[in-house]
Amino acid sequence: MTAAPTPGSREVLGPQEISRALIRIAHEVLERNAGAENLAVLGIPTRGLPLARRLAAVIADVEGVDAQALVGELDVTMYRDDLRRHPTRTIGATTLPAGGVDDRVVVLVDDVLFSGRTIRAAMDALADLGRPSAVQLAVLVDRGHRELPIRADYVGKNLPTSRTEKVAVRLVEVDGVDSVRIENEEGDR
């Protein structure tokens, strides 16, 4: 199921650029952490999870380790500060790599860093699961407009936007296509 581009939107990353960004991020993660020995890569659903799986696959390929042993999924639904505004959220799964998160470097992975609120929720959720030695953040797109003092350690693309624009990330695993587009918001969403 491929979503049609919104009129007035423009593509800023295609499949090749997304792949190159993830390869670059994987190498940066490995360099900063001296390999994959102590890593756990946790994807934040919805699109952070397939990105985390792709990132873990690149890391595993470079380091000769099992990608499945690196990757997990971190549901942040009940830690969000906007539940009153959007109370009908489905609670997702949280699955950790076999070694858990204690004393490991956890790399949180999400598609777009905007206000920072999702990442704050992720850090709260992570604190309930264990005590990592460090927490790092990898995002495909950093669009600015932070409301909290959070920054990404690894960024695929810095993409300055206005508040009236939307960054639409589409991934093959979820949407049938790899694309990052800037779209003008319609109405007062």
Mean pLDDT score, 117-129: 96
pLDDT at 93: 87
| Residue 188 pLDDT grade (very low, low, confident, very high; cuts 50, 70, 90) | very low
The rounded percent of the chain whose pLDDT value lies above 90 is 81
C-alpha 42/C-alpha 91 separation (Å) is 17
86 phi, psi to nearest 5 deg:
-130, 70
36 SS3 class: coil
C-alpha 187/C-alpha 135 separation (Å) is 37
pLDDT at 1: 47
Mean pLDDT of the chain: 92
SS3 content of the chain, % helix, strand, coil (to 5): 30, 25, 45
- Taking only the tens place, the pLDDT of each residue in 20-53 is 999 999 999 999 999 999 999 999 999 999 999 9
Mean pLDDT score, 9-28: 97
C-alpha 97/C-alpha 115 separation (Å) is 28
Sketch the domain layout of the chain as residue ranges.
Answer: 15-81+93-164
Mean pLDDT score, 80-103: 82
Q: How far apart are the first and last CA of the chain?
A: 24
Q: Are 25 and 57 in contact (CB under 8 A)?
A: no
Q: pTM above 0.75?
A: yes
- Taking only the tens place, the pLDDT of each residue in 149-179 is 999 999 999 999 999 999 999 999 999 999 9
pLDDT at 33: 98
CATH 3.30.70.1150 correct for 15-81+93-164: no
pLDDT at 8: 72
Q: Are 119 and 159 in contact (CB under 8 A)?
A: no
